[in-house]
Amino acid sequence: MRNEAAQPIIRTLLDHVATGEPWRTTETTVPAYEYTDPDHLALEHEKVFKGQPQLIGLSVDIPEPGSYVTRDQFGLPLILSRGDDGQAHVLANVCAHRGAEVLTAQRGCERRFTCPYHAWAYSPDGTHVGLPDPTSFPSVAVPGPGMVELAVAEENGLIFTVPELGATMPDLQLGPMADDFDHLASLGTRHWRTYRFDLAMNWKLVVDTFLEGYHFAYLHKSTVGPIFVPNLGFAERFGPHLREVLARRTIGELADQDPETWDIVEHSALVYVLFPATVYVINIDHVETWRVHPHPTDPGLTVVDLDFYVPDGPITESSERHWELNWKLTIDTVRDEDLEAMAGAQRGLASGALEKLTFGANEPALALFHQSINDALSS
Ligand SMILES: [Fe+2]
């Protein structure tokens, strides 16, 4: 985030650090069935997810022509690739011949994408460029149409698709947030590791867990709790998306410094929800994307893919040890504390013992996220 955008937020946070009071908006509630009812999940798929852009990767995932990553969580297998002309493409990972998976690795770089079944070959933009024994396939034009292409938009280091055949790309509505990603793109420039979570909980619980610092002093008392100002978060909504700023204890140092030199990244965790279900976190020196995918029919099941991106630089024993420790803290905190608690919450909500969840005035980002969902549901 640029200094001029960060200054008013930092001033607000410093005021609250000084008084020890949280930044409060208003208390809200959400009915418990929204986390457990299959009909409600079906409505969310129709109103919240269908036709919506979803983050498929970052520009740094496909740094050069021929670079690709494969994605298997959208109900149709996808390839995100960089064409010879430098453009990003999203392709159905389905061979035009007999439907086999063309690329089977998670990521790589190839001049030609060659199906392992009969060696039909495609350029990185999906054009069919070769096949053995073409005489036997008089209907197949080469070069000609190859893998089916889906809508794609690459902006500010982010790449979105609409993971549906024939869908068009709506406006991304990133608003002033777009500038944040541009400015911060230099932080996460090397993909470091991917981790998949298969979770027994509703997709919203996964997003919810990132949206307040009220729990830090309790659930995270032995991990990240001591790093953050307890019970203090600032949140704003931009279109359907939102940005939350969680202040680190070091933010107090800024009170004595020239505001023109303030760097919010050093003194916060910045949490963005790219609506509906991607959480993008800037954690001082690295970026995490949490791509959350609800089950097609079961409201109590979710797949989440975590990608961890680190700054470019020499890969040394000490740099890798540093990222390994960062990774461990992330996993220890989110998997073993947040998601463990959320799995318990899903069981609690499914028990029928609670009619509604309550979001405190001190949990403003939660209220904004659920407002966005309600807006989509009622559209
Ligand atoms: Fe947490």
Residues in the chain: 379
Cis amide bond preceding 276, omega within 30: yes
Distance 122 CA to ligand 1 centre (A): 44
229 alpha carbon – ligand 1 mean position (Å)? 13
CA 211 from centroid of its chain's CA atoms: 14
- Cα 195 to middle of ligand 1, angstroms: 18
Closest CA to 342 of 198, 202, 229, 160: 202
Rounded distance from Cα 214 to ligand 1 centre (Å): 9
Sketch the domain layout of the chain as residue ranges: 3-52+173-377, 62-151
Cα(283) to centroid(ligand 1), Å: 14
Q: Tokens 């954690």 correspond to what residue?
A: 283
Q: Give the integer Cα–Cα distance in Å for 218 and 213.
A: 10
Pairing outcome for strands 121-122 and 128-130 = antiparallel
Alpha carbon of 378 to ligand 1 centroid (Å) = 30
Q: Which CATH superfamily is domain 62-151 in?
A: Rieske [2Fe-2S] iron-sulphur domain (2.102.10.10)
Cα 375 to averaged position of ligand 1 atoms, centre (Å): 26
Q: What does each C-alpha distance from 13 to 119, 177, 228, 237, 293 come to in angstroms?
A: 58, 19, 12, 17, 33
Contact 152, 89 (CB under 8 A): yes
Question: Which residue shows structure tokens 């541009």?
Answer: 182
CA atoms of 186 and 169, how far apart (whole Å): 26
**Dist. CA 44 → ligand 1 center (Å):** 25
307 neighbors 194 (Cβ within 8 angstroms): yes
Alpha helices, DSSP H only, in 176-278?
Answer: 177-184, 203-208, 216-219
Nearest partner of 43 among 242, 354, 294, judged by Cα:
294
Digit-coded pLDDT (tens) for 33-67 = 999 999 999 999 999 999 999 999 999 999 999 99
**In the CATH scheme, what is the homologous superfamily, with its name and number, of domain 3-52+173-377?**
Naphthalene 1,2-dioxygenase Alpha Subunit; Chain A, domain 1 (3.90.380.10)
Per-residue pLDDT of the chain (379 residues; tens, 9 = 90+): 899 999 999 999 999 999 999 999 999 999 999 999 999 999 999 999 999 999 999 999 999 999 999 999 998 999 999 999 999 999 999 999 999 999 999 999 999 999 999 999 999 999 999 999 999 999 999 999 999 999 999 999 999 999 999 999 999 999 999 999 987 777 778 999 999 999 999 999 999 999 999 999 999 999 999 999 999 999 999 999 999 999 999 999 999 999 999 999 999 999 999 999 999 999 998 999 999 999 999 999 999 999 999 998 888 999 999 999 999 999 989 999 999 999 999 999 999 999 999 999 999 999 999 999 999 999 9
Q: For residue 287, how far is its CA from the centre of ligand 1 (angstroms)? A: 17
pLDDT digits (tens, 9 = 90+) for 313-323: 888 999 999 99
CA 153 / ligand 1 centre spacing (Å): 31
CA of 365 to the centre of ligand 1 (A): 13
How many Å lie between the centroid of ligand 1 and the Cα of residue 81?
34
Distance 208 CA to ligand 1 centre (A): 9
Two structure tokens written together for 133: 């024994």
Q: How far is the CA of 285 from the centre of ligand 1 (A)?
A: 19
**Ligand 1 centroid vs 264 CA: distance in angstroms?**
20
> Ligand 1 center to residue 243 CA distance, Å?
16
Residue 313, helix vs strand vs coil: coil
158 Cα: distance to centroid of ligand 1 (angstroms): 25
Q: What are phi and psi of 57, to 5 degrees?
A: 175, 180
| Cα dihedral 67→72→74→80 (10° resolution) | 10
